[in-house]
Structure 1
Amino acid sequence: MAGPTLRETPVVIGIGDVKNRSPHASDAREPADLMLQAIQVALADAAASASKPTTTPAGLQAAIDSVDIVRNWTWPYSDLPSLLCEKLGLRDADVKHKFESEHSGDKPAKLFDGAARRVAKGECMLAVVTGAEALASLSAFAAAKKLPPPGWTTPDRSVESVFSPTTRSLRDGIGANHSVGAPIHVYPMYENGFRAHRHQSIEDNWNESAQMYAEYAKIAERNPHAWNYGKPAEAAQSIGTVSKKNRMICFPYPLLMNAFNSVNLSAACVLTSASHARELGIPEDRWIYPLGGAGTQDHIDFWERPNFYSSPAISRSLDAALEASGLDKDQVDLFDFYSCFPIVPKIACQHFNLPVLHPPKPITLLGGLTSFGGAGNNYSMHAITAMIRALRASPNKSARISGLVLANGGNLTYQFAVCFSTKPRMTPDGAAYPEKNPLPPKITDVRVPRVDAHAEGEAVLETYTVEFGRDGSPLRAYVVGRLKSNGHRFVANHGDSSTLQHLISKEVEPIGRSGWVRVDEEDKRKNLFSFEGARL
């Protein structure tokens, strides 16, 4: 039985991006203050075109009754939604919804979808979604041994340290036993698996990633909101050449194929209903319509997934978002696929049958987390503001122009996609916005090989990566393999130096090769894999 028709059409009326590029400590701003600035920029954007003189940024600010915040990496707050509302001059009694997300890069799209739904249901009148990072300033203060930074909000002492995607604790069990599970490990594993699945040579795959990120860098070079705006874009040759400045992190990704997180960036969106936007005198050619969103997640443990060349969560989130929005992929004119590492947009492009190099439609509006800046969990908020900006700029005001933003989080774990258009939603249900996220919270209906914590015997390598030290030497291999005897999966480290060297070579594809796995005699929690059985 169909749910009730949502009575209001949500529209985006204001967007704001803030970048604090100043290197001076006196100019450093904490995330809460950057969010406040971005919201005020967005409110000014909404009021700028209004035909009614009573529609002012101050008046809109006072009318905010819904606040969603993407959790930041920079600074631990005890109650950031209340703090931000206080900075906005809002009374608790007037704010119907206050929320701060958990950590994950899918949250900007997920929170935006929720805000659009509340507007559609009439549960709020003026919704704000925002997020910020000040990691560049924090790093500068840390280097000067000035923590906490003077003037910043007293940190939440219950949080032991600020969040980091590379230093957070590994999950107990198989991952921690093998020192594997950080994003810098898992995304390269998928890149290697994706390459082998496509029968692509290691060299061709490497060059493809370098060229794709060079194309991204040119986009960021021209984007005034990008951290690297105005700087000469890195060329494919420099991105793909390992050097002291571009050291290898985890094979096959050198530094310039990893997200760059030391930025001070914030973004905000303001949503309201079409009827209220009319009352405010905001012209319709400034409205952008959210059409629908969808998201789900793959298993949190990468070894409990069906393969290492696809993401069911990405595929289903993309398809469900399109269906919820009444679109097919050919009706989407602009994409922004999350791009912390090259593999994410590659998987999305493969799903939509788009080339990753010189695509006929944009697959990033920002320029990626390396060149635009990896704004913590908040990167895709900037993708949403960029999408709104691009759709508004369409020269054909009578045409329906549509876009899709894919936000990704975790280790290719959490996905959420949202669609936008210059025209309102047109779907058979007649609703102004989808009643709910059409996907379940987690994907549980895919077949996954049995995983053995301890493995012995002849095996085939399924995927891998190698982590490097700051001096450029290989430290440790992380291997996922399958036992030949029963097809069970295992996780292992390298068993000898020869295997480690084979895994960093560009000459021979190691995936699909046979080897041997055994339990480490010195640390029986670990498995060791070797290509040379005699060494075992």
Structure 2
Amino acid sequence: MAIDPRTPVIVGVGQFTERLDDPDYHGMSAVDLATAAARAALADTGVDQARLAEAVDTVFGLRQFEISGPMPATLGKSNNYPRSVMRRLGGDPARVVLEPVGGQSPQKLVIEAGDTIVAGDADVVMIMGSEPGSTAKYFASRDDKPDFTENVDGQLEDRGHQIFSYIDEYTVQHGLTGAPVQYGLLDNARRSRLGLSVHEYRHQMAELFAPMSKVAAKNPFSFSPVERSVEEVETVTDENRMICDPYPRLLVARDTVNQGAAAVIMSIEAARRLGVPEEKWVYLHGHSNLIEQALMVRADLGAAPASVLAAHEALRVAGIGVDDIATFDLYSCFPFPVFVICEALGLAADDPRGLTLTGGLPYFGGPGNSYSLHAIAETVCQMRDKPGQFGFVGANGGIQSKYAVGIYSTEPVPWRTSRSAELTAQVAELPKVPVVKTPEGAARIETYSVRYDWPVRTGIIVGRLDSDGSRLMATTEDADLVSLMTEGDPLGAEIVVSTTDNGNRAVLR
């Protein structure tokens, strides 16, 4: 098959992990971690690293947690993260971009890089990401804090953190200020739809995630390479404490890590010019990038139609079926995103192909917006070892808000386009639930979570008013209601909601 020389190929991938118990641990910055991963990606191409670094004309950088919102970076930061990394590598790209918040971003950027290369607006692209959360935690209470402040001159296209595309004043006021509580609402809504008890659902979550830890235990880049049993994952102990209902710690993404990842993508003509061996080339056969409705208006908080459409669209673009996939890496910050894609594709928790190549976010590590760049790196390596087979990467962002999929193979294929924009428009037109911000009166609990991480254990409630079915948010410290939410099953429970100057409150009726 004659392939257009502008067709993009992934030619290099790299990862790096620095663990707290490493003998030479010294607490690397975001820039240092990304530099180590980028060096590994350059080396992976099999060509001279210095020459290749000079050839990189476009860089996409992924945001770390410390620059993913209005909070300050406690140890300082670079004013131009991508250029700080490239300066260490000896490169001076014409264009660098800092991408908004979102775990779908690595896969979304692979697609964007491909489109840019096909259009002739780039030849050699690097995507990089890193997360120095363990460094920040390690130095939090120490007097010898490093200063990672850097000021680098040069162009930067900063797209902004855009965190408020996922949350707003209303949701923040009612406790949705972290991923565990946000996804807790989704998993409990899904449990409601399935009619399962608290115990039954926790067991299913543990059955889904425990096998991932076996993969993590063998991955040299894992931050927590420990195999866990189903019983360990589902049993609440001092070590496996509750974080936010329904999740004990071993079902929650491990975001306190020091990890970096990078990928190099270029046109076939650039790969030939630079001498990258063809056995390094991996093609993107299918892809998609869809956006969900805003959280509070979704008809079913236990479903994610955009994610389902994204999975099927990528397969359609690739021209294959789910049985043709050899490897999967499904974004696993919490069980909900994995359940969604498993249901969409008919995958069982014990599918012999496995659901992760890294080991999953709770065990491999959850380096923020850049996790799926590790998944892509693992997939590229697997595809080189399995020529002609296909690898599926599912990348999730926000509160199951955005989903991007990539299907990879060494089999040559021309660049293809997807119907992602059209499908996103269809999702936006799905029925919506009216939301009331100042509710009063009788209501029922639609879904919930409990914040064990607050000074006072607090219930977080999404409910429906009896009077008109509109959706509301409320919090509660009411002893009887919190007891029901932590020791029983509050789904469908009758409550009374009132509005205060500091948000809505709920009690049992």
Report deviation, 1:98.
1.2
Following superposition, the deviation at residue 200 of structure 1 comes to 2.0
Which residue number corresponds to residue 90 of structure 2?
89
Query: What TM-score comes out, normalization by structure 1 length?
Result: 0.84
Matches within 5 A, 1:347-426: 347-355=340-348, 357-394=349-386, 397=387, 400-425=388-413
Which residue of the partner structure matches residue 282 of structure 2?
Answer: 288
Confirm or deny that 1:106 pairs with 2:104: yes
Secondary structure of residue in 2 paired with 1:529: strand
Match of 1:319 among 303, 312, 319: 312
Alignment of 1:126-275 (within 5 A): 126-147=124-145, 149-150=146-147, 152-154=148-150, 171-229=167-225, 232-275=226-269
Give the letter for the 1:77 counterpart.
Answer: S
Q: Which has the larger radius of gyration?
A: 1
Q: For 1:274-316, what per-residue CA distance to the aligned partner results, in whole angstroms no more than 9, with x for missing partners?
A: 233334443333321112422122234x222221111122112
Q: Per-residue deviation at 1:388?
A: 0.5
Residue 516 (1) aligns with residue 500 (2): no
| Partner residue, 1:340 | 333
Q: Which moved more, 1:133-142 or 1:173-182?
A: 173-182
Seen in structure 2, the aligned counterparts of structure 1 residues 320 and 97 have a Cα distance that, compared at 3 Å, is farther
1:57 offset after TM fit, Å?
2.0
Q: Return the offset for 1:437.
A: 5.0
Give the aligned residue type for 2:30: P
Distance 1:96 1:441, change over 3 A: farther
**24-33 or 306-315, which deviates more:** 24-33
d(CA) in 2 for partners of 1:421 and 1:115? 17
Contact residue 80 and residue 151 of structure 2 kept, 8 A? no
- Residue 155 of structure 2 corresponds to none
Report if the CA contact (8 A) 1:456-1:516 is conserved. Answer: no
8 A contact 2:58–2:95 mirrored in 1: yes
Counterpart of 1:330 (choices 320, 323, 329) is 323
Report the counterpart of residue 16 of structure 1 in structure 2: 14
Offset of residue 324 of structure 1: 2.9
Q: Which residue of the partner structure matches residue 415 of structure 2?
A: 432
- Secondary structure of 2:111's match? helix
Kept in 2: contact 1:455–1:517 (CA 8 A):
no
Q: In the superposition, relative to structure 1, how do residues 26 and 312 fare at CA in structure 2: closer, same or farther (>3 Å)?
A: closer
- Determine helix, strand or coil for the equivalent of 2:363: helix
C-alpha displacement of 1:6: 7.0
Deviation at residue 389 of structure 1 after TM alignment: 1.0
Pairwise CA distance, 1:378: 0.7
- Any idea what the Cα deviations from partners look like across 1:491-531, whole Å, max 9, x if unmatched? 1223732122112225xx43234x132314xx255333344
Give the TM-score normalised by structure 2: 0.88
What residue is the counterpart of 1:448 in the other structure?
432
Matched length: 487
> Which of 37, 56, 67 lines up with 2:59 in the alignment?
67
Looking at structure 1, the residues matched to 218 and 371 of structure 2 have their Cα atoms a distance apart, in angstroms, of: 17
C-alpha displacement of 1:333: 2.3
Seen in structure 2, the aligned counterparts of structure 1 residues 497 and 168 have a Cα distance that, compared at 3 Å, is farther
Contact 2:476 2:507 in 1 (8 A): yes
SS in 2 for 1:209: helix
| RMSD after superposition | 2.7
Distance 1:181 1:305 in 2: 19
Match in the other structure for 1:479:
461
Residue 175 of structure 1: CA displacement? 1.7
CA contact (8 A) 1:460 1:484 kept: yes
SS at match of 2:261: strand
User: Structure 1 residue aligned with 2:441, among 457, 461, 464?
Assistant: 457
**CA 1:90–1:285 in structure 2 vs 1: closer, same or farther (change >3 Å)?**
closer
Letter in 2 for 1:214: A
1:441 CA displacement: 6.4
Which amino acid is the alignment partner of residue 483 of structure 2? Q
The alpha-carbon distance between structure 1 residues 155 and 503, as it changes in their structure 2 partners (threshold 3 A), is farther
1:51 corresponds in structure 2 to none
3-state SS of the aligned residue for 1:27? coil
SS across alignment from 1:307: coil
Paired with 2:113 and 2:165, the residues of 1 have a C-alpha distance of: 32
| Contact 1:96/1:124, CA 8 A, preserved across alignment | no
Which of 296, 299, 309 is the aligned partner of 2:302? Answer: 309
Offset of residue 384 of structure 1? 0.3
Contact kept in structure 1, 2:50 and 2:90, CA below 8 Å: no
Contact 1:117–1:435 (Cα < 8 Å) also in 2: no
Q: Distance in 2 between matches of 1:323 and 1:244?
A: 46
Deviation per CA, 1:41-62, whole angstroms, max 9, x where unpaired? Answer: 1111111xxxxxxx42222222
Distance 1:269 1:140, change over 3 A: same
Q: Indicate if the aligned counterparts of 2:53 and 2:86 stay in contact, CA closer than 8 A.
A: no
Distance 1:262 1:441 in 2: 33
The verdict on how the C-alpha distance between 1:312 and 1:154 changes in structure 2, with shifts beyond 3 A counting, is: same
- Shift of residue 265, structure 1, vs aligned partner: 0.8
Whichever residue aligns with residue 110 of structure 1, its letter is: K
- Report the alpha carbon displacement of residue 368 of structure 1 after superposing the two structures with TM: 1.1
SS state at 1:139 partner: helix
Cα distance in 2 for residues equivalent to 1:16 and 1:153: 25
SS in 1 for 2:444: strand
Distance 1:208 1:440, change over 3 A: closer
Identity %: 28
Contact 1:320 1:438 in 2 (8 A): no
> Which segments of 5 or more consecutive residues in structure 1 lack a partner in the other structure?
48-54, 157-164, 426-430
- Separation of aligned partners in 2, 1:202 and 1:441: 33
Post-superposition offset of 1:20: 1.8
Structure 1 residue aligned with 2:156:
none
Q: Which residue of 2 aligns with 1:159?
A: none
Q: What 5-or-longer segments of structure 2 have no aligned partner?
A: 67-72, 153-160
